[in-house]
Amino acid sequence: MRHRIVVLGAGYAGAYSAGVLARRLDPADTEITVVNAVPDFVERLRLHQLAAGQDLKKHRLADIFAGTGVRLRLARVEAVDVARKSVVLDDGELSYDTLLYTLGSTVADHGVPGVAEHAFHVTDRAAALRLRERLDGLGEGGRVLVVGDGLTGIETATEIAESRPGLKVALAARGEPGDWLSPGARRHLRQAFDRFGITVHGHTSVSRVETTGAIGADGTVFAAEATVWCGGFAVHPIAADSGLEATATGQIVVDDTMRSVSHPDVYAAGDSVHVIGENGRPLPMSCASAGFTSMQATGAIIGRLTGRKVPSTALKYVGNHISLGRRDAIFQMVDGEARAKSWFLRGRAAAHFKSGILKGSIWSTNHPTFGMPTRKHRLAAAPERSTAAAVA
């Protein structure tokens, strides 16, 4: 009887983790299954590019896992039954002995009326393609309003403005756009907005989205043929609904090895996990956080199953990397308190750096154990096996 490890989600956290587990654990006594809704590895970091009209390289999960022994199950996760140690899928059920939950996040509408019905977003591939189709249908002078001046809002507004110079792009921000950046980086951002002709509506809180645009809290109307909601990310409710201990926002509460504090056979990584970083603050939802939490989660799973020491991964957050179209970017370093340092990188050098990071994240998904010992470990004792229903 092999120990069944099920990984939910094959994004930055899940695809990397499954690759590590399959390469480090002996298939004689472990079986690793990854469940993902779509057949491709989706580079979420590039979805604003896809929405703007650029074609992205496809990365098939079947190719990424080829030869590793990972079993890929294409299905949508509907629920986790933690009592029966079973995952409910849209086409059956899957039992586990150890579960790694990495379902990522989706758009957060913050309860603003009209967002779900009328706004576009870029947090998943289907949504990015819907926006692209809408942009394709807009004529010269078509108006696009991006709501939010976080990383995704800035990247989306600049990417659309650069790729589609015929459109009129505006950005609505709660405060001064980029007021969380250092003064120099903020100046660079303003110059980029001017260069792209992006109209900035600062100190604007959007209270409603309609088919014809957005309405500010003070009643100001921002007319637009496409409103793009970049108000942040929210996790899927599946974890909290399953009875796993979760925060009020639905992120899974774990110990410092990424193990659920309520269910020790469940681990979590990526956007789905609530974890305090080295600076004493929750790690932001980001690709870097997905990397560190996955490293920690896989290290802990392998350590505990094989009777080895559980390693400790430093959970750092060093900075924000914001693309401004394809030829410009800002890399803003942050200090131990997560405040912007005065040092930042800008322009083509920052754009090259970001391009390297994007390529590096795909490379590490394909080579997750590069530099690690290649020996596969046997489990320490007779593998645990749940008595739950058989695999569907």
Ligand X SMILES: Cc1cc2nc3c(=O)[nH]c(=O)nc-3n(C[C@H](O)[C@H](O)[C@H](O)COP(=O)(O)OP(=O)(O)OC[C@H]3O[C@@H](n4cnc5c(N)ncnc54)[C@H](O)[C@@H]3O)c2cc1C
- For ligand X, the binding residues (CB under 6 A) are 9-14, 35-38, 42, 44-45, 47-48, 76-77, 102-104, 122-123, 151-152, 155, 236, 270-272, 285-288, 290, 321
Pick the closer one to ligand X by CB: 40 or 265: 40
Pick the closer one to ligand X by CB: 25 or 80: 80
Least distance (Å) from ligand X to the CB of residue 49?
8
Pick the closer one to ligand X by CB: 34 or 379: 34
Q: Is 372 helix (H, G, I), strand (E, B) or coil?
A: coil
Least distance (Å) from ligand X to the CB of residue 140?
26
Least distance (Å) from ligand X to the CB of residue 48?
4
Pick the closer one to ligand X by CB: 14 or 215: 14
Which backbone phi and psi does 70 adopt, to 5 degrees?
Answer: -65, 135
Q: CB burial class (10 A; 0-12, 13-18, 19+) of residue 198? A: buried
Pick the closer one to ligand X by CB: 90 or 218: 90
Least distance (Å) from ligand X to the CB of residue 294?
8
Pick the closer one to ligand X by CB: 16 or 196: 16
Pick the closer one to ligand X by CB: 171 or 290: 290
- Contact predicate 247/274, CB 8 Å: yes
Least distance (Å) from ligand X to the CB of residue 36?
5
Least distance (Å) from ligand X to the CB of residue 382?
31
Q: Is 100 helix (H, G, I), strand (E, B) or coil?
A: strand
Least distance (Å) from ligand X to the CB of residue 283?
10
Q: Point out the residue whose Cβ comes nearest to ligand X.
A: 11
- Cβ neighbours of residue 130 closer than 8 Å, sequence gap 6 or more: 120
Least distance (Å) from ligand X to the CB of residue 265?
20
Find, among 186, 55, 46, 68, the residue nearest to 122 by Cα.
46
Find, among 80, 72, 96, the residue nearest to 10 by Cα.
72
Pick the closer one to ligand X by CB: 149 or 271: 271
Residue appearing with tokens 């589609």: 164
End-to-end CA distance of the chain: 16
Instruction: Quote the tokens at residue 34.
Output: 């990854």
Reported for 206-210, long-range contacts at CB under 8 A and 24+ positions apart, including other chains, are 206/112, 206/147, 206/172, 207/112, 207/113, 208/112, 208/113, 208/114, 209/112, 209/113, 209/114, 209/115, 209/117, 209/118, 209/119, 209/147, 210/114, 210/118
